[in-house]
Amino acid sequence: MEVPDIQYTRSGDVAIAYQVVGDGPVDVVWFRGMAGDLLSTWDQSLIVRHASGLAVLSRLLMLDKRGTGLSDRVREAPTLETRMDDVRAVMDAAGSERAVLWSGHEGSRTALLFAATYPERTAGLVLLEPSVRGTGSTDYPWAPNEEEWRRRLASVREGWGQRTFFAELLREWAPSLADDDAFKQWFIGHMRRSLSPGAALSFFRTMKEADVSDILSSVGVPTLILCKPELRAEAEYVAARIPASEVAELPGLSGLFTWIDDEVHEQTMRETAQFLTSLGRPKEPDRVLATVLFTDIVGSTERSAELGNTAWRALLERHHALVRRRLGQFDGAEIDTAGDGFFAAFDGPRRAIECARALVQDMPSLGLEIRAGLHTGECELMGKKPSGIAVPIGARVAAEAQPGEVLVSSTVKDLVAGSEITFEDRGPHELKGVGEWRLYAVTEPS
pLDDT, mean of residues 271-298: 87
pLDDT at 127 over 90: yes
pTM value is 0.85
What are the tens digits of pLDDT across the range 348-375? 999 999 999 999 999 999 999 999 999 9
Predicted confidence (pLDDT) at residue 325 exceeds the cutoff of 90: yes
Of 251-265, 270-284, 405-419, least confident by mean pLDDT is: 270-284
Closest to 215 (Cα-Cα) out of 433, 412, 434: 412
pLDDT of residue 35: 80
Name the average pLDDT for the chain: 92
Q: What whole-number distance in Å separates Cα of residue 385 and Cα of residue 338?
A: 15
Sign of torsion, CA 93 94 100 104?
negative
pLDDT value at residue 404 = 94
Check pLDDT > 80 for residue 376. Answer: yes
pLDDT score recorded for residue 304:
87
Query: How many CB atoms sit inside 10 A of residue 262's CB?
Result: 11
Phi, psi of 238 (to 5 degrees): -70, -45
CA-CA distance, 123 to 97, in Å (whole number)? 10
The per-type count for the chain, helices as H runs and strands as E runs, is 15, 16
End-to-end Cα separation, the chain, in angstroms = 52
Q: Can you point out the beta strands (E) in 92-153?
A: 99-104, 122-128
Percent of the chain, pLDDT > 90?
Answer: 82
Which of these, 339, 440, 442, 337, lies nearest to 397 by C-alpha position? Answer: 440
- Measured at the CA of 30, the angle between CA 105 and CA 412, to 5 degrees, comes to 55
The pLDDT confidence band at residue 441, using thresholds 50, 70 and 90, is very high
Res. 33 pLDDT band, cuts 50 70 90: confident
The residues with which 333 forms a beta bridge, in sequence order, are 345
Model confidence at 160, pLDDT cuts 50, 70, 90, reads very high
At 123, the pLDDT band (50, 70, 90 cuts) reads: very high
Residue 284's pLDDT is 64
**Predicted confidence band of residue 387 (pLDDT cuts 50, 70, 90):** confident
> What average pLDDT does the segment 306-329 reach?
92
pLDDT at 174 over 70: yes
Q: Which of 158-162, 165-169, 279-283, 421-425 shows the lowest per-residue confidence on average (mean pLDDT)?
A: 279-283
Domains delineated in the chain: 7-132+213-278 (3.40.50.1820), 287-443 (3.30.70.1230)
pLDDT-based confidence at residue 242 (cuts at 50, 70, 90) = very high
Q: What does each C-alpha distance from 88 to 60, 268, 326, 327 come to in angstroms?
A: 14, 25, 23, 21
Query: Is the pLDDT at 381 greater than 80, yes or no?
Result: no
Predicted pLDDT of residue 191: 95
Give Cβ neighbours of residue 122 (< 8 Å, ≥ 6 apart): 98, 99, 100, 101, 114, 115, 221
- pLDDT band, very low/low/confident/very high, at 382 (cuts 50, 70, 90): low
pLDDT tens digits, 188-214: 999 999 999 999 999 999 899 999 999
Task: Categorize the per-residue pLDDT at 389 as very low, low, confident or very high, splitting at 50, 70 and 90.
Answer: confident
Which residues lie across from 133 on neighbouring strands?
211
